[in-house]
Amino acid sequence: MTSKRSMTCQALLNNAVRRIASETPRLDAELLLAHVSGLSRSSFRAFPEREVDAQPAAEFESLVAQRALGMPVAYLLGHQEFWSLPLTVSSSTLIPRPDTECLVEQALELLLPDTARVVDLGTGTGAIALALASERPSWVISACDLLDDAVALAQLNARQLRLPVNVYQSSWFAGLPSASFDLIVSNPPYVASDDHHLKEGDVRFEPSSALVSGADGLDDIRRIVDEAPAWLSAEGWLLLEHGFDQAKAVRELFVDRGFAMVESRQDYGGNDRMTLGQWPRKKGALHAE
């Protein structure tokens, strides 16, 4: 039921918190109320009796009803922050996660050329590519995604942030212009098709094509690891995000393919969630330069 009269911030938020079944109901409610009212979250505590006009109050209650059904807050707001960058999001892509910022940190720690050529595979909103572009303006950064809607969204974010990232429609490497990259980075699908988490929480509303990758969750990672050497320069790096319990299997894929310096790195929760490896110079001459 939507409100037909103004209500106080406190009343709106208290009612919303009772209805939202998430791990952060108060935060969710405050973000939604700030979105429709134009007020800051800090003002809700400083001035709880401030009234919200009928129209924004009704809009707020509509958003709360959707959040109560599980719709992610980022989709309701239409934006999500990643690496301090405000990104437009939509239901055609995954919502950028804070832990994926660890992937950006690892990429920035690599010793790459000043004008390194970098590609972000399966870019979604463009989050990883745009974060790297914001930190390394001299790098030549490309990104790709299979879905037209995701390509358009990443291009929109690049324009809005005025960051020079070239975005292509491509199934992994298939549609990329011929190039030799110093770094290939990706947060690909890595969830097993029967994983129970797919039916829980916000994930229910995110595109399964960006989450699921075969019976063990490694189909896309296998393909990327297998094809990456043909697209890497000598001593170029491959850096992938994966599931918390997949590190050993992913390291074995890297080693079996011939990568050197293979290591797994941890996310903010201390889980092995990234694996990287370097394509050795002695084999680089056999592949695209």
**Chain CA centroid to CA 2, Å:** 33
Q: Would you list which residues are annotated within the binding site for S-adenosyl-L-methionine? A: 122-126, 145, 172, 187
Instruction: List CB contacts of 110: < 8 A, sequence separation 6 or more.
Output: 183, 237, 239, 276
Q: Would you list which residues are annotated within the binding site? A: 122-126, 145, 172, 187-190
281: confidence class by pLDDT, cuts 50, 70, 90: confident
126: confidence class by pLDDT, cuts 50, 70, 90: very high
Contact predicate 122/187, CB 8 Å: yes
Supply the mean pLDDT for the chain.
90
Sorted by where each begins, the domain ranges of the chain are 7-69, 79-284
> 79-284 falls under which CATH superfamily?
Vaccinia Virus protein VP39 (3.40.50.150)
Fold of the CATH domain 7-69: Helicase, Ruva Protein; domain 3 (1.10.8)
Q: Would you list which residues are annotated within the binding site for substrate? A: 187-190
**What digits encode the pLDDT tens for the residues 169-224?**
999 999 998 789 999 999 998 777 766 666 666 676 666 666 676 788 899 999 99
Contact predicate 63/19, CB 8 Å: no
CA distances from 63 to 20, 35, 60, 76, 206 (A): 11, 10, 5, 7, 17
Contact predicate 215/193, CB 8 Å: yes
pTM of the model: 0.87
Amino acid, single-letter form, for residue 196: H
Nearest 10 degrees: CA dihedral of 109, 114, 119, 125? 70
Contact predicate 193/212, CB 8 Å: yes
Cβ atoms within 10 Å, residue 264: 18
pLDDT at position 84 is 95
Q: The tokens of 220 are what?
A: 């896309």
> Distance (Å, rounded) from C-alpha 102 to C-alpha 265?
9
> Distance (Å, rounded) from C-alpha 29 to C-alpha 58?
14
